[in-house]
Amino acid sequence: MQSSGRIPKHIGIIMDGNGRWAELRGLPRIEGHRRGAERTKEVSRAASELGIRVLTLYAFSIENWQRPSLEIMALMKILEFYLRNEMKEFMEKGIVFKTIGERERLPDTVQDIIREVEEKTALNPGMTLVAALSYGGRNEIIRAVKKFMQTGVSPEEVTEESFSQCLDTAGLQAPDLIIRTSGEMRISNFMLWQGAYSELYFTDTLWPDFSKDEFLLAVQDYQRRERRFGAVPAGIHAP
Which residues are catalytic, by number?
16, 64
The total of other beta-carbon atoms located within 10 Å of residue 140's CB is 25
Specify whether the CB–CB gap between 103 and 111 falls below 8 A.
Answer: yes
Residues in the chain: 239
The total of other beta-carbon atoms located within 10 Å of residue 145's CB is 12
CA distances in angstroms from 81 to 51, 86, 114, 139, 187, listed in the order given = 26, 8, 11, 27, 27
142 burial via Cβ count (<10 Å: 0-12, 13-18, 19+): exposed
The identity of residue 105, as a single letter, is: R
